[in-house]
A and B are shown apart, each in its own frame.
Chain A
């Protein structure tokens, strides 16, 4: 049974065997008594693991395939690279830190809280230095936000490329952050808060990643965060302190945050000029594309999550999000966009956070072209790939929020495709 949940291509090829196994386990008319029920099992007789055997628990070994994965040939070195959250195998909305995607420009560093310093300088009355302890003394807030790399789905501009929701849409995670509003620190330093000012933020790692954020956003909902999902940030996500810039591209969520500078103009750093900009067909480029537009993807069924059973009840499950606010509606199509049905939201969407949606169907075993289409509180409707290409051309890299299509065949095997 384990085999059928292993998302390997071999498992896909064994799809029909998996269906057979699933029928025996799930069917109502078992012919032979199930030994799992009629025979005394080891685990029902022997004792299990004691407390403290794993002081910090890891997922059970049967789930060892639910991990971040990278695609080696995408980047020159794993030190400056990205991997992907296994969104196909997760449910609900919160991403466990241990499998939340990583993106480093010079590798993840080990920085002790005791060695941590945060400087705030520039157009401020009092340039200040904070220790980690100082940060924990400011009033703090808790918010759930998604963090999406601007390059998520970037490969797919050129056509259907990578076969799996993890690889096409996995540069995203969603966590509950605890932190101090950036506004509080700016006020503490007596910063010039005029709307024409900018806040330049910079990391302590070797890449020294820096981005310019307009004052209006800095005063709105940006957090200087030190916890995620209730525990300390992981090293790979910027321990001990990272910036959280809700709804805006992940590159601005500076990790190992060491400096906040109030400036009178955008710094035009490498990551906001030569990278994270997109070239149009006429050769001009679009910059300062901070907001992540509304987007959705069906996580199951999907290429790594074939339908393991035959026709009958099927849960179509997916994720939707928008950098503009709440997800208000998600529609699902089973025929490549001819007909749409409005999906059920797992719960009312949080602003700038992942929302889970479901379409519970009775699958007739016929092939499907599965698509999802998100709408947010501004009324924005997630565009098709053709709409995006017509608007931006094909040389873009970032901000691909197109409607994704999975072709699901009669065996339940799913594949990344493009449709007319």
Chain B
């Protein structure tokens, strides 16, 4: 496109029109937006003026006039701060929305416990009873002695490690308030069965955790009465955010732009290379060394490729085969609804068990192809004694045994580590059975 001086004529007309509009609307934001576009236009005018010989003078004058008008618009906008964009209006509580919360409702939900013990219900429990409840409901993840299984949290020990590299932050070594322990266990534990512990069970578990940290004797009774008096080991171990004093004060400075360092070397390469297949990730160790990695100075990298032309062409590799989609075992159409219902019931199990493609052992064994599988036979899973015995006896999971087990796990398999109370409804039992049947190997 060639630049013709005539192009500017409609542009100037448009500018005048815009100016008129800007005057007409006394909104600061609207005015500001228009000022931006006017400034762009003025820039165009000025650019053109410099290159358009004869017309330069008159257009420069025109530009000056526009600038004066812009100043006028800005002044008008500043004089009238009313804007059409505003935050939501604030009221004095007159909306009258919502309804009064009833005392029973507040009691049901307002169960948090404060460090001074406010919020605790009446009750008590000792470490001795706590050990039993803990073994039943907590040990499958946290270990019999609160030492933690796999990646699950360690609850005991770690004293005097907080200043070490990799501190061990447990309830005993790190948690500053006992109220936090009680509150969290009562509301959020056991994982997958939150909110099912009674007040006495919670007191007992907390007492046992203190015992496992060697903070009390096994006959120690914790209750709402002696609770607030118990000081945790790390109570004084916390300071409130001090970044403003320690960091912000010195890190708010104009940064260096050139010759900020002498030589820069790579000191460490990524430990893992994370591959990203169609789904998920695969982490592999990076075997790259620092050999051959260039260092840098203000003159550039120590290694500069000989030629700056594009890299030599390599033989193109044949296209890779598309990754096959995981095959899902199909259920017969009539059972679809039941299987879907079973998948929902399975939410109760998901905290510990996986099924489907790529299912792995977690706190519980993976459940692919469960029906027809020998009990206690999943490789790499540490079963309880009762399941090890079932394996020896060659007992096989069928629908009947599964339903019996899931109805009352601890009765059917006495000694199982599975901390699940059982399914009460026949419909749920049918559904979960159908679902587990639908998930093949």
Chain A residues in the interface with B (C-beta under 8 A) = 3, 7-10, 14-17, 19-21, 23, 64-65, 67, 69-73, 75-77, 79-80, 105-107, 119-122, 126-131, 134, 137-141, 159-164, 167, 180-181, 183-184, 187-190, 200, 202, 206-208, 210, 258-259, 261, 263, 265, 267-270, 273-274, 277, 279, 281-291, 293, 303-304, 309-311, 331, 335-340, 364-369, 373, 375, 378-381, 383, 387, 391, 394-395, 407, 410-411, 415-420
Contacts and interface: CB of A to CB of B under 8 A. Distances in A.
A269 B184 contact: yes
A75 B252 CA distance: 36
Given A8-B275, A279-B162, A284 B237 contact: yes
Contact of B91 (A187, A189, A415): A187
Interface string B257-287: 1111111111111111111111111011010
Contact of B180 (A3, A268, A291, A303): A268
Nearest to A122: B110
A369 B264 contact: yes
A286 B110 contact: no
B301 A366 contact: yes
A240 B283 CA distance: 35
Main secondary structure of the interface of B (DSSP, over half): loop
A366 B305 contact: yes
A167 B276 CA distance: 11
Interface in B144-171: 150-152, 162-163, 165-167, 169, 171
Contacts of A288: 240-241
A3 B293 CA distance: 27
A128 B263 CA distance: 63
11 contacts: A3-B320, A106-B194, A126-B100, A127-B101, A129-B101, A207-B188, A279-B169, A340-B260, A366-B301, A407-B269, A415-B270
Contact of B270 (A21, A77, A161, A340): A161
Contact of A77 (B87, B280, B362): B362
Counting from the closest, the 6 A-B pairs by CB-CB distance are A310-B310, A76-B151, A283-B163, A336-B264, A283-B162, A139-B88
A277 B271 contact: no
Given A290-B241, A369-B264, A338 B297 contact: yes
Contacts of B303: 366-367, 410
Given A17-B317, A129-B98, A380-B252, A159 B271 contact: yes
Contacts of B234: 285
A366 B114 CA distance: 60
Contact of A339 (B239, B260, B273): B260
B350 A79 contact: yes
Given A72-B281, A181-B88, A16 B312 contact: yes
B180 A269 contact: yes
Contacts, number: 360
A163 B176 CA distance: 36
Contacts of B263: 420
B122 interface: no
A73 B271 CA distance: 14
Interface string B306-321: 0011111111110110
Given A119-B105, A206-B192, A337-B260, A17 B314 contact: yes
Given A188-B98, A410-B311, 8 more contacts: A119-B101, A184-B91, A189-B93, A268-B115, A336-B264, A339-B259, A366-B300, A367-B301
B110 A121 contact: yes
A420 B150 CA distance: 36
Contacts of B152: 76
A261 B106 CA distance: 10
Interface stretch (B47-55, B242-250, B394-402): B242-250
A144 to B, nearest CB: 14
From B152, B288, B296, name the one whose CB has the most chain A CB atoms within 10 angstroms. Answer: B296
Contacts of B10: none
A267 B112 contact: yes
Interface in B68-113: 87-93, 95, 97-101, 105-106, 109-110, 112
B160 to A, nearest CB: 8
Contact of A394 (B114, B165, B195): B165
Nearest to B271: A161
Interface in B211-261: 234, 237-243, 246-248, 251-253, 255-261
Given A17-B314, A364-B308, A261 B241 contact: no
Contact of B97 (A80, A137, A340, A383): A137
A342 B375 CA distance: 65
Contacts of A290: 241
Contact of A410 (B258, B268, B305): B305
Contacts of B179: 268
Contact of A162 (B109, B177, B272): B272
A373 to B, nearest CB: 6
B298 interface: yes
Contacts of B92: 187
B169 A181 contact: no
Nearest to A309: B310
Contacts of A71: 274, 281, 283
